[in-house]
Amino acid sequence: MYHLSNSLKYVRERLESKEALSDSTMGIVMSLITQEQCRQQHEAANIHMDGLAQMIELRGGLESLEGCLPVLLKACKTDLMFTLQREETPRFHRSRMPQIISTLHALDLPFDREAAQKHVQHLDLDAALLDVLLDIICTSVLFNDPPSARKVDLYLFQELLVTVCYRLLAIPHTHSPPRIEDAYHIGLTLFMMELFLQVGKQRVMSYDNVTRRLRRVLESDVLEGEGELRFWLLMLGGVWISDDEDAEWLLPKMFAQTRKMRLRSWSDAREVLERWPWIGALHDGPGKMVWERARCE
């Protein structure tokens, strides 16, 4: 609390100076937002988030930060983290997909949407959601190829994930009762969060709203007859919430699904998951641990 109090005092002093709208001041505000989110102080985080949005607006909008890409991308990531935690409308938007694909192709990296379409099991999805799904499948293919993944620098990586996340969050995803689109949406959300919103392999804050959405879909009738989709959601959910105190509700569902699908080994499970967005280097370790825990149920 002492350090937080000093930080707030320092921010107030900067806001009263000619440094009020500087990149460094915005960086401090973004750090405060993350601190408050980790402490579950949502109202305080909301106040700082409003302040950040006003600062960026006074600077001339998100585009005015193009000259300092680290600050721009950090602002977007802060916005996305806040949006997912609070289930609110994002304050910013950034969409650079044409430029990203052009850069990937210039680096001779795979990003083949036509090839990705062959892996889609529900081509009648909402058009906007299908579009995002194809990009996420391409992203999965890219990062499942280590030589290709090593060519992607940090800024290109962040630009790709920021763009995909903003497009995903713009799609309605809380229908009542849940639709097949809601099932895909929560799965893609978990995939992007696991790729983008962790430090190492650790989550630094909770996203209870996302967990509730996952449980609502899994306990609805929308997944009747959708064994592979259900299993993919269970595995992504298991990887995401495995450290949560209330994660035990998911393991019996996973065990029941593996029996229903006659998946007798991790190799069997992995064969199914390869047909869905799944990055081996990211998901296999924790995924196998969750699989083994479920088998002990």
d(CA 94, CA 162): 7
Of 1-15, 21-35, 58-72, 244-258, the range with the highest mean pLDDT is 58-72
User: What band does 22 get if pLDDT is binned at 50, 70 and 90?
Assistant: confident
Query: pLDDT tens across 107-127, in order?
Result: 999 899 999 999 999 999 999
DSSP label at 178?
Answer: -
| Of the candidates 229, 212, 235, 217, the residue with the CA atom closest to the CA atom of residue 283 | 235
Q: Are 223 and 229 in contact (CB under 8 A)?
A: yes
pLDDT, residue 86, reads 87
CB 205 within 8 A of CB 38: yes
State the pTM of this model.
0.90
3-class secondary-structure state, position 220: coil
pLDDT at 6 > cutoff 70: no
Mean per-residue pLDDT of the chain: 89
User: How do the residues of the chain divide into helix, strand and coil, expressed in percent and rounded to 5?
Assistant: 70, 0, 30
Residue 3 binned pLDDT confidence (cut-offs 50, 70, 90): very low
Q: What is the pLDDT confidence band of residue 37, given thresholds at 50, 70 and 90?
A: confident
Report in angstroms the alpha-carbon separations of 58 from 51, 64, 71, 95, 253.
11, 10, 15, 21, 50
| Mean pLDDT value of segment 186-204 | 80
Residue 169: closest CA among 248, 84, 237: 84
- Percent of the chain's residues with pLDDT above 70: 88
> For residue 21, what pLDDT is reported?
67
Taking 50 as the threshold, does the pLDDT of residue 2 lie above it? no
Residue 204 has pLDDT above 70, yes or no: no
**pLDDT number for residue 206:** 79
Partners of 202 in beta bridges: 199
Q: pLDDT tens digits, residue range 80-115?
A: 999 999 888 999 999 999 999 999 999 999 899 999
pLDDT at 10 exceeding the cut of 90 = no
Region 43-53: mean pLDDT is 92
124-160 tens-digit pLDDT: 999 999 999 999 999 999 999 999 999 999 999 999 9
**Banded model confidence at residue 207, pLDDT cuts 50, 70, 90:** confident
> How far, in Å, are 132, 274, 284 from residue 270 at the CA level?
23, 6, 8
Write down the number of H helices and E strands in the chain: 15, 0
| Position 275 confidence tier, pLDDT thresholds 50, 70, 90 | very high
CA 297 – CA 292 distance, rounded (Å): 9
For residue 199, the SS3 value is strand
Token representation of residue 186: 């929560």
Residue 297 has pLDDT above 80, yes or no: no
- Cα 13 from Cα 171, distance rounded (Å): 40
